[in-house]
């Protein structure tokens, strides 16, 4: 076993959020930290990077890497890959894993274990191996995938193998220079209180030593086990069980054509395996089929971005595909496009969630397979069209904060209380989860259900867009916009805090001609009712810095600083009933969105 001493490093770990452009540390202190890092880092490339910066006396670049510590927060750890304490590298991964190991061991569990998966990003395999060997060095049994796997499969694996925790090395759909580290607990969901805060505290305490173990020793002692095909089979079986109409594929599976892109990520193997297993004609974009952490064909490997689907759409036009699908690098988000006349249109996360909710609950109701108390879960910033749809089928609609860790917590709450029974859940940012075998958003299961839904409506003589229009006519037209503004560094934090304080102290009472009737403050769990001024503490969710303004027509405007990035997000969902003309309702909603957008723009400092 190897022990990495950090005794002299304890005073070099900082937790303030400063920005390198705003504050430079003393050059001697900076050089001292850089040389300390070189002594501790086991990754030769990362050491060499810092050594070269010292040789060139590039103090600005060094300051950018050492002005603070890459903090382990409630969402795990995410940062730019490189040498330094404010970068993702083997040292910071080992330190985070030692903290996780300390927390696991503090729980007094018998035979603790951890499962680890990783995506196609640069150094993901290296970081996963480093984490595994630290866990082994602490006597914790570790199951490491021998090749890259999607995030939802890791969530499944934690439950399937019964491990204490899980780790995924991924930065999801961030640009290629990033990587990250997410932690899951024994239920298969990302960690939530009290575990998240307990792990954070232990990571911050790691200033004395990091215990690791050579791979050969870990394998010989049975502490390290490589996993793969057996878990794959179990996961694929779980995904297949979510299919509602398997006979539909037997009779018509060859009638639907799919163009798919994994965007250089983990999705190709699982998505192709599942879809082809049902006889689906899947064409995978060849230029984006192979895993590549540089994501050379896209600016951002994000299926929410139209530019990420350009190559797939070019093939879809040639092949006249019925649906175009894209998954992000760790295959937890799914984006789609469908034909509309002579070209294709992108379906938003809100729209796809509405279509899937309609298909899943209508089908299960028709076939008599809905549980006695079925439940649907959505995030608080996801369209209320979905609420209207599921309630029309007699399904309970529950809301959670943004982030699928809260979906997993809600499922666990349902199970502990003996009901209701979770069936399906969505969030606007292209996340979908059907069933409870997985406890995170799952693009693999979402992909087969999307194809099943497409095929079902095709057999009925409809397209997805036509079904969506039917839903609008029944429940009202809904449209959403998202405004995101980045404010980096300590100054940025103050700007975002100022925006939220102004909205709390001097909230908007109207958006154009539409009056605000409720102001929901998720920080203190209260709702202010207007115009009476009555305030009730009636929001039973964890405290979160989110404000929501509910308008008299049912439209909703939300403000939420990101918990993982230096961004603030404004969500607007406007609605209008469809009386005679759907086009007229669309026009009314677009006018409302323009008014809301102008007001939001006024909240943001120049």
Question: Can you point out the beta strands (E) in 113-266?
Answer: 113-118, 141-145, 165-169, 178-185, 209-212, 224-227, 257-261
DSSP string, 26-52: -HHHHHHHHHHHHHH---HHHHHHHHH
Whole-angstrom distance, CA of residue 138 vs CA of residue 165: 14
* Contact residues for 162 (Cβ-Cβ < 8 A; gap 6+): 113, 186
8 Å CB contact between 333 and 304: yes
Does residue 172 carry a catalytic annotation? yes
Integer distance in angstroms from the first to the last C-alpha of the chain? 55
Residues in contact with 583: Cβ distance below 8 Å, sequence separation at least 6, in sequence order: none
Using CA atoms, how far apart are residues 503 and 484, in angstroms rounded to an integer?
Answer: 17
40 vs 37: CA distance, rounded Å: 5
Instruction: Note the residue count of the chain.
Output: 606
Which one of the listed residues 113, 124, 172, 445 is annotated catalytic?
172
- Quick check: 188 and 159 in contact, CB under 8 A? yes
Q: CA distances (Å), 377 to each of 100, 130, 344, in order?
A: 30, 36, 29
Separation of alpha carbons 260 and 242, rounded Å: 20
How far is residue 358's CA from residue 392's CA, in Å, rounded to a whole number?
9
Of 237, 408, 440, 424, the closest CA to residue 328 belongs to 440
DSSP state of 482: E
Phi-psi region at 463: left, alpha or beta (left = phi > 0; alpha = psi -120 to 50)? beta
- Is the preceding peptide bond at 194 cis, omega within 30 degrees of 0? yes
- Tell me how far apart the alpha carbons of residues 32 and 223 are, in angstroms, rounded to a whole number: 37
CA 436 to chain centre: 17
**What are the residue numbers of the active site?**
172
């Amino acid at each position: 076993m190897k022990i990495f001493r950090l005794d002299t490093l304890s005073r070099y770990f900082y937790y303030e959020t400063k920005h390198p452009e705003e504050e430079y540390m003393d050059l001697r202190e900076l050089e001292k930290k850089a040389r300390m890092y070189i002594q501790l880092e086991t990754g030769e490339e990362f050491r060499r990077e810092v050594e070269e910066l010292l040789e060139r006396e590039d103090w600005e670049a060094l300051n950018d890497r050492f002005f603070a510590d890459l903090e382990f927060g409630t969402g795990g750890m995410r940062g730019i890959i490189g040498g330094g304490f404010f970068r993702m590298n083997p040292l910071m991964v080992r330190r985070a894993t030692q903290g996780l190991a300390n927390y696991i061991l503090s729980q007094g569990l018998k035979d603790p274990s951890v499962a680890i998966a990783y995506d196609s990003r640069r150094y993901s395999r290296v970081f996963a191996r480093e984490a595994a060997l630290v866990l082994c060095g602490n006597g914790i049994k570790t199951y490491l995938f021998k090749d890259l796997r999607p995030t939802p499969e890791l969530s499944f694996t934690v439950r399937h193998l019964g491990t204490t925790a899980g780790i995924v090395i991924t930065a999801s759909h961030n640009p290629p220079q990033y990587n990250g580290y997410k932690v899951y607990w024994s239920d298969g969901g990302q960690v939530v209180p009290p575990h998240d805060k307990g792990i954070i505290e232990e990571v911050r305490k790691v200033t004395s030593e990091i215990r690791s173990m050579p791979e050969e020793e870990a394998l010989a002692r049975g502490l390290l086990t490589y996993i793969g095909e057996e878990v794959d089979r179990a996961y694929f079986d779980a995904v297949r069980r979510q299919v509602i109409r398997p006979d539909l594929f037997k009779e018509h599976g060859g009638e639907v054509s799919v163009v798919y892109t994994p965007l250089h990520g983990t999705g190709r193997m699982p998505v192709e395996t599942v879809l082809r297993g049902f006889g689906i004609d899947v064409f995978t974009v060849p230029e984006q089929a192979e895993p590549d952490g540089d994501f050379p064909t896209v600016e951002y490997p994000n299926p929410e971005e139209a530019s990420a689907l350009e190559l797939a759409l070019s093939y879809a036009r040639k092949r006249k595909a019925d649906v175009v699908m894209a998954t992000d690098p760790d295959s937890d988000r799914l984006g789609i496009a469908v034909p509309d006349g002579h070209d294709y249109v992108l379906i938003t996360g809100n729209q796809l969630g509405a279509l899937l909710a309609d298909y899943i609950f209508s089908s299960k109701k028709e076939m008599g397979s809905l549980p006695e108390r079925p439940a649907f879960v959505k995030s608080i910033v996801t369209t209320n069209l979905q609420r209207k749809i599921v309630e029309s089928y007699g399904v309970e609609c529950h809301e959670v904060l943004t982030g699928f860790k809260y979906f997993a917590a809600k499922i666990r709450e349902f199970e502990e209380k003996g009901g209701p029974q979770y069936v399906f859940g969505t969030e606007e940012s292209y996340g979908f989860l059907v069933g409870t075998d997985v406890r995170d958003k799952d693009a693999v299961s979402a992909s087969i259900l999307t194809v099943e839904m497409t095929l079902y409506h095709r057999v009925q003589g409809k397209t997805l867009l036509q079904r969506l229009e039917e839903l609008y006519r029944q429940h009202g037209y809904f449209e959403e916009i998202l405004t995101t503004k980045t404010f980096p560094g300590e100054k940025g934090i103050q700007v975002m805090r100022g925006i939220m304080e102004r909205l709390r102290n001097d909230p908007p009472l109207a958006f154009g001609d539409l009056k605000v009737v409720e102001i929901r403050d998720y920080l203190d769990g209260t709702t202010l009712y207007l115009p009476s001024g009555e305030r009730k503490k009636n929001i039973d969710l964890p405290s979160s810095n989110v404000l929501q303004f509910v308008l008299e027509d049912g439209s909703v405007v939300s403000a939420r600083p990101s918990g993982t990035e230096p961004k603030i997000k404004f969500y607007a969902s406007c609605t209008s009933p469809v009386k005679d003309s759907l086009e007229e309702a669309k026009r009314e909603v677009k006018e409302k969105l323009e008014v809301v957008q102008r007001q939001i723009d006024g909240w943001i400092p120049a």
